[in-house]
Amino acid sequence: MELDSLYQEVILDHYRKPAHKALQPNPTNQVHHINPACGDEVTLNLHMDGQKIVDVSWDGVGCSISQASTSIMTDLMIGKDVDSAMKVLNEFTELMQSKGSLKGDEEILDDAVALAGVSKFPARIKCALLGWMAFKDAVSQSQSGN
Amino acid sequence: MELDSLYQEVILDHYRKPAHKALQPNPTNQVHHINPACGDEVTLNLHMDGQKIVDVSWDGVGCSISQASTSIMTDLMIGKDVDSAMKVLNEFTELMQSKGSLKGDEEILDDAVALAGVSKFPARIKCALLGWMAFKDAVSQSQSGN
Amino acid sequence: MFTSPLNGAEIRKDFPIFSKTMRGGGRLVYLDSGATSQKPNSVLDGERYFYENHNAAVHRGSHLLAEEANEAYEGARAIVAHFLGANLDEIIFTKSATEGLNLLAYSFGNSASTSRFALNPGDRIVLSEMEHHANLIPWQQLAKRCGAEIVWFPVDPDGRLDLSAMNDIISERTKIVALTHQSNVLGTINPLDQLISRTHEVGAVFVLDACQSAPHFAIDVKSLGPDFLVFSGHKALGPTGIGVLWGRAELLEEMEPFLTGGSMIESVTMTDATWASAPRKFEAGVPNMAGAVGLGIALQYLLNVGMNNVEAHEHALTQYALTKFADLERVRIIGPTDTKMRGSVLSFEIDGVHPHDAGQVLDQHGIAVRTGHHCAWPLMRKLGIVGTTRASFYIYNDEKDVDALIDGILATQKYFKV
Amino acid sequence: MFTSPLNGAEIRKDFPIFSKTMRGGGRLVYLDSGATSQKPNSVLDGERYFYENHNAAVHRGSHLLAEEANEAYEGARAIVAHFLGANLDEIIFTKSATEGLNLLAYSFGNSASTSRFALNPGDRIVLSEMEHHANLIPWQQLAKRCGAEIVWFPVDPDGRLDLSAMNDIISERTKIVALTHQSNVLGTINPLDQLISRTHEVGAVFVLDACQSAPHFAIDVKSLGPDFLVFSGHKALGPTGIGVLWGRAELLEEMEPFLTGGSMIESVTMTDATWASAPRKFEAGVPNMAGAVGLGIALQYLLNVGMNNVEAHEHALTQYALTKFADLERVRIIGPTDTKMRGSVLSFEIDGVHPHDAGQVLDQHGIAVRTGHHCAWPLMRKLGIVGTTRASFYIYNDEKDVDALIDGILATQKYFKV
Ligand SMILES: Cc1ncc(COP(=O)(O)O)c(C=O)c1O
Ligand SMILES: Cc1ncc(COP(=O)(O)O)c(C=O)c1O
């Protein structure tokens, strides 16, 4: 069923047990993002050490896709430096815009390839990107020093 | 030709030689009306003696229909008392709204029956009514004392 | 048991979209008429006929096409007037209910400070917690520009307006009361009589958002008694891009224009202009002529069906759905659970399933519902939820659509193992 | 002699209205495209296809129809962006050019006093004597609200802007310059280069009314250089009720919204709201989706014909008409009499015949022209006339239409014995 390409088991797992979903104190940067179309929200704390992403934690409300995607993203990003994090992020954004034509590189995206199916459901792409865009925003704030 | 029902000879005569088209001084009431759709304008001077319409004179710019209709109207109204003037006016308004179904009572409307054809051209009805509405306005002002 | 004067399946034959095949391979179960309605063939034919036979700019030409276009456009206005029990010159075509509400807010804001519509610091605009953003933000913005205050009726846990403090909320300082007739989230129909009489008692004007009512039951503005009313054509079987603002003639006469430009003037110089009378004063520019014509045909379609039949049909569907929902487990209706003073908009929550996910599974079964905050974010906050899943019914629905929805909900629960 | 890359008679086959029989029993000679254009079958088919297959509220639903509606609507935006050489997010759908200009005027008026768009007492808005009421009255009203001043370029006896005092008229006090690209009365095309550079020199914004240009020749906003541009879909083969506002991304970003309501927000409470980014910020409410889709198809039709061909065709028609008019007696062209910097709008006066009467006789011959002040009343006053008779050409016209017009004018003179 088409639906199963959207809701792969790994997504439902992340949805039921989201990783790093508890805001850690004293972040380098904190951002709050909203998806105005559906009301989903995410607050994200970023801890940096130089160019290294030491920790990403978050809280928020949203559908399985946005929750799972944010959870997967934190797992992927923690421990990376900014440059490689941005590479992963770009890879993921491209996957989301692929309208089902890409499968995603598991080497780079790990669990996030499970979200490939989202790209066939235009209305859900914003859900999948919510946490990632919040992360991008936090990193860019950390780089420009605010 | 359909056009001839609109432009009867008597209309073109009035257009070429409009009656009472020269504002007489010291009117009881003066009004200025505009047809915003086409820019036609009429200024009308009304001279009353009690309930009697002593004189109606006017100036303005407009198409043959508006000019002829105003000219015919002045011929009709001068010398009447307010009540019979309003009867003529109502008769004429009804004729204009008749969509070609009425011919007009020549006893009452005299030359104005030549305008019967206008009622088949919705865009021209306002032209034919411009002077008449100005007259109605002037009379009603004279009655309410402003 | 389901009985209704209308046969939804028969009515669907007039609506070409219902021959579409949906994602799951099945038929379209359209339960999103609260967002926008589908269009019957007669509306699509009528729009096309206008373009193929009478297309010209209204109010601006004297050639044959222009005369015919004018007749078609003004004919549509006459149908709208008849539909609402209003006078011809009280009907203003807008692009949407949203524009109609903004028109009022901007026009009031443009008023001279001595006008009855002027808002001065300390003056109040009364709204409610169940308003759609379209009947909320324009008033917020107006209030900010004028230094006025927004006050509002709270919504109680049953999804009804709490009117216990009505006389304090609508007070001598109130200039405008703007409320929805029926909530687009809860289905609640508000008790207008007391609200309108209180509004008039304090000398304020009453603005009715009839987006979710005018398409669904008969409205007679003269007996209902508001001062202004708006609705959107696209929710009433009409085309997109056309809406209606009705206002009392004597109020429209006093009001300042909103959009300015061609066809709404009496006279113009380089520095100044004077206005035509209503409705022209409020219809600047070449209007959505085909849209108006289509809306006229749509409302005529509804009148032919009979607004009382429309109401009875939706009532029957709602009754049927509420009974079925009562048997579902871990599914909660958001809004009144009986049909008293309630329309056919049905919001619900499925425990453990986010509305967006529920909507996705239903979509896979060909069922179109809306999910999210429904442009009523303050209401969501008040109810402590992020959003709902909403089914809304119209004339082309029938009890099989309700059955499909119920099955879809069960399938959703199964899919997400909740 | 008439040569053109396009064959009007062939093109007419795409436009169903041309099979209509007119008052006099003959064919339709449509010379009123300056008021509104006729629509090709592809536009009518496309609108209908949208309703029959994808109709749902955009930006608000996640079901299949809503996804498809969204794709269709945003696809139309992409075509408009391509048509103007603009970025996707710079295209705002309005209901008309009139709304677009009012949007700008109200948005500027809503700006904080520190904003670059704010008008303060003594600030100036620069217009011209040839503006359509739609590009005049909104600015008058804005000026009145803000205590700003309206100043303007006069029109010289040839129907050209008198730019001799340009640097005084566009001065350091100028905040906004709003001009038409092509006069809808005179056909004059204004020399934008110098006007736009002077505008930017003084730090003002340049608003271009492209109603009579965008449908008729290629425009690339990036190389042309204005800050904002509006046009109406219905004059560009598109449906009624849809228009376009283009604005530079960085300016749209800074601007306040105009209409407020659903789909233009980021977040909402009972007393406050924040905005989405452009274009959403400026598109409150359920938009005219079918209208946008139809406009996209219309512009694609024009692109397929080729805007350079459209321009060459109209140029040829104008050239041909001007030559023919030169042979007429007691007929005077109002506007430039050569084709240099002039479009295909042709106003004229027949000695001794009021425009309304001329239009009537032409109508009897199946010729649709517009008569009157053309929503440019100040220009009429300046030229000392009550109105003109106006013929305006488009792709579906050919030299036979011009011949018909000439014959019609001769018939008019004969009928009125002038
Ligand atoms: C130059 C010009 N500007 C503005 C407008 C207004 O366009 P609309 O009435 O479609 O808003 C028109 C057409 O009427 C026009 O010709
Ligand atoms: C109650 C209510 N008010 C206002 C609106 C706004 O209508 P539109 O978006 O058609 O302007 C809607 C629909 O979205 C609604 O349901």
pLDDT (average), residues C226-233: 98
From CA B144, how far away is CA A75, in angstroms rounded?
86
Ligand nearest to the CA of C232: 2
Chain A contacts of D71, Cβ < 8 Å? 122
What's residue A137's pLDDT?
Answer: 97
The CA R_g of chain A, rounded to the nearest whole Å, is: 14
Strand partners, D153: D128
Q: Is C150 on the interface with A (CB under 8 A)?
A: no
Tokens representing residue D37 in the block: 């254009």
CA nearest B4 in D: which residue?
Answer: D415
From CA C333, how far away is CA C288, in angstroms rounded?
39
Exactly one of D273, D375, D385, D406 is catalytic; which is it? D375
CB C277 within 8 A of CB C87: no
Please choose, from the candidates D289, D310, D288, D314, the residue with its C-alpha nearest in 3D space to the C-alpha of residue D299.
D310
Q: Is D23 on the interface with B (CB under 8 A)?
A: yes
From CA C115, how far away is CA C148, in angstroms rounded?
15
Residue D331 is inside which H or E element, if any? strand D331-334
Torsions phi, psi of A107, nearest 5? -55, -45
Q: pLDDT tens for residues D395-406?
A: 999 999 999 999
ipTM: 0.96
What's residue B38's pLDDT?
Answer: 82
Q: pLDDT tens for residues A65-74?
A: 999 999 999 9
CA nearest D352 in B: which residue?
Answer: B16
* Tally of CB atoms within 10 A around B29: 18
Q: Is A121 on the interface with D (CB under 8 A)?
A: yes
pLDDT (average), residues C154-171: 97
Tokens representing residue A64 in the block: 């399985």
Instruction: Tell me which residue has tokens 């207008």.
Output: C192
CB C28 within 8 A of CB C22: yes
pLDDT (average), residues C4-32: 96
Q: Output the 3-class SS for chain A.
A: CHHHHHCCHHHHHHHHCCCCCCCCCCCCEEEEEEECCCCEEEEEEEEEECCEEEEEEEEEECCHHHHHHHHHHHHHHCCCEHHHHHHHHHHHHHHHCCCCCCCCCHHHHHHHHHHHHHHHCHHHHHHHHHHHHHHHHHHHHHHHCC
From CA B10, how far away is CA B4, in angstroms rounded?
11
Inspect the interface and report whether the beta carbons of D360 and B39 lie closer than 8 Å.
Answer: no
Mind telling me how many Å the CA of B30 is from chain C's nearest CA?
19
- Residue B104: alpha-carbon gap to chain centroid: 15
Tokens representing residue C321 in the block: 């759905």
Protein residue with least CA distance to atom 16, ligand 1: D184
What's residue B1's pLDDT?
Answer: 63
Find out if CATH 2.130.10.10 is the number for domain B3-144.
Answer: no
Inspect the interface and report whether the beta carbons of A64 and C357 lie closer than 8 Å.
Answer: yes
Protein residue with least CA distance to atom 15, ligand 1: D211
Residue D151 is inside which H or E element, if any? strand D149-153
**Which pTM does this prediction carry?**
0.97
* Tally of CB atoms within 10 A around A133: 17
Protein residue with least CA distance to atom 14, ligand 2: C35
Tokens representing residue C194 in the block: 């007391």
Q: Calculate ∠ Cα D62-D65-D70, nearest 5°.
A: 75
Amino acid at A59: D
Which atom of ligand 1 has the smallest separation from the CA of D181? 1
Q: Is D74 on the interface with A (CB under 8 A)?
A: no
CB C325 within 8 A of CB C264: no
From CA C197, how far away is CA C188, in angstroms rounded?
20
CA nearest A124 in C: which residue?
Answer: C356
**For B50-100, where are the E strands, in sequence order?**
52-61
Torsions phi, psi of B131, nearest 5? -65, -35
Maximum distance among all alpha carbons in chain C? 71
Q: Is D266 on the interface with A (CB under 8 A)?
A: yes
* Tally of CB atoms within 10 A around D121: 8
Q: C209 in ligand 2 pocket by Cβ < 6 Å? A: yes
pLDDT (average), residues A36-45: 91
Chain B contacts of D355, Cβ < 8 Å? 38, 63
Tokens representing residue C250 in the block: 């004597």
What's residue A1's pLDDT?
Answer: 63
Which atom of ligand 2 has the smallest separation from the CA of C182? 1
From CA D166, how far away is CA B104, in angstroms rounded?
59
Interhelix angle D399-415/D307-326, rounded to 10 degrees, is 30
From CA C104, how far away is CA A100, in angstroms rounded?
46
What's residue C131's pLDDT?
Answer: 98
Mind telling me how many Å the CA of D377 is from chain C's nearest CA?
6
CB C205 within 8 A of CB C177: yes
Per-residue CA distances from D206 to A63, B3, C114, C132, D151 (Å)? 45, 47, 36, 36, 14
Pick the CATH number of D8-30+306-416 from 3.40.50.300, 3.90.1150.10, 3.30.470.160, 3.60.10.10: 3.90.1150.10
From CA A96, how far away is CA A133, in angstroms rounded?
12
Q: pLDDT tens for residues C343-402?
A: 999 999 999 999 999 999 999 999 999 999 999 999 999 999 999 999 999 999 999 999
Which atom of ligand 2 has the smallest separation from the CA of C95? 11
Tokens representing residue A97 in the block: 């815009």
Inspect the interface and report whether the beta carbons of C62 and B36 lie closer than 8 Å.
Answer: no
CB pairs under 8 A between A and D: 20
**3-state secondary structure (DSSP) of residue D307:** helix
Which atom of ligand 1 has the smallest separation from the CA of D232? 10
From CA C146, how far away is CA C176, in angstroms rounded?
13
| Own/partner pairs, D307-310, CB within 8 angstroms, 24+ separation | D307/D217, D307/D218, D308/D217, D308/D218, D309/D5, D309/D6, D310/D6, D310/D216, D310/D217, D310/D395
CB pairs under 8 A between B and D: 46
Tokens representing residue D177 in the block: 């310059």
Query: How does residue A106 score in pLDDT terms, banded at 50, 70 and 90?
Result: very high
C375, C377, C392, C394, best to mutate for ligand 2 pocket (most atoms within 8 Å of CB): C375
What's residue B146's pLDDT?
Answer: 56
Highest CATH level, class, for C45-304: alpha beta
**C146 part of the active site:** no
CB D297 within 8 A of CB D305: no
From CA C160, how far away is CA D295, in angstroms rounded?
43
Residue B34 is inside which H or E element, if any? strand B29-35
Instruction: Tell me which residue has tokens 């289905």.
Output: C187
From CA D391, how far away is CA C63, in angstroms rounded?
12
From CA D112, how far away is CA B126, in angstroms rounded?
46
CA nearest A65 in C: which residue?
Answer: C357
Edge-first strand listing for the sheet containing A29-35 = A29-35, A40-49, A52-61
All residue ranges of chain D with pLDDT < 70 are: none
Interhelix angle C41-53/C289-305, rounded to 10 degrees, is 150
pLDDT (average), residues A11-32: 97
Q: D262 in ligand 2 pocket by Cβ < 6 Å? A: yes
Give the pocket of ligand 1 (CB within 6 Å): C 262, 285-286; D 96-98, 132, 134-135, 180, 184, 209, 211-212, 232, 375
Inspect the interface and report whether the beta carbons of A63 and C415 lie closer than 8 Å.
Answer: no
On the 0-12 / 13-18 / 19+ scale of CB atoms within 10 A, B4 is exposed
Residue C127 is inside which H or E element, if any? strand C124-128
Handedness of CA C351, C357, C359, C363 (dihedral sign): negative
* Domain segments of chain C as ranges: 8-30+306-416, 45-304
DSSP 8-state symbol, C293: H
C-alpha dihedral over D49, D53, D57, D63, to 10 degrees? -160
Q: pLDDT tens for residues B86-138?
A: 999 999 999 999 999 999 999 999 999 999 999 999 999 999 999 999 999 99
From CA C19, how far away is CA C41, in angstroms rounded?
13
What's residue A146's pLDDT?
Answer: 56
Please choose, from the candidates D35, B13, D396, the residue with its C-alpha nearest in 3D space to the C-alpha of residue C287.
D35
Q: pLDDT tens for residues C56-103?
A: 999 877 799 999 999 999 999 999 999 999 999 999 999 999 999 999
Which atom of ligand 1 has the smallest separation from the CA of D95? 11
Instruction: Return the residue in B34, B35, B41, B42 with the most chain C beta carbons within 10 A, the one to mutate for interface testing.
Output: B34
Q: Is A100 on the interface with D (CB under 8 A)?
A: no
CA nearest D374 in B: which residue?
Answer: B38
Q: pLDDT tens for residues C97-148?
A: 999 999 999 999 999 999 999 999 999 999 999 999 999 999 999 999 999 9
Please choose, from the candidates A25, A9, A20, the residue with its C-alpha nearest in 3D space to the C-alpha of residue A135.
A20
CB C186 within 8 A of CB C130: yes
- Rounded mean pLDDT of chain C? 97
* Domain segments of chain A as ranges: 3-144
Per-residue CA distances from C126 to C167, C186, D370 (Å)? 12, 20, 47
Q: pLDDT tens for residues D295-342?
A: 999 999 999 999 999 999 999 999 999 999 999 999 999 999 999 999
Show Cβ contacts of residue B65 under 8 Å, excluding neighbours closer than 6 positions. B6, B11, B115, B118, B124, B127, B128, D356, D357
Q: Is B33 on the interface with C (CB under 8 A)?
A: no
> Helical H runs in C279-354?
289-305, 307-326
From CA D6, how far away is CA D274, in angstroms rounded?
50
Q: Is B1 on the interface with D (CB under 8 A)?
A: yes
From CA D355, how far away is CA D366, in angstroms rounded?
16
CB C180 within 8 A of CB C132: yes
Distance D138 CA to ligand 1 centre (A): 13
Q: What is the DSSP string of C97-120?
A: HHHHHHHHHHHHHTS-TTSTT---
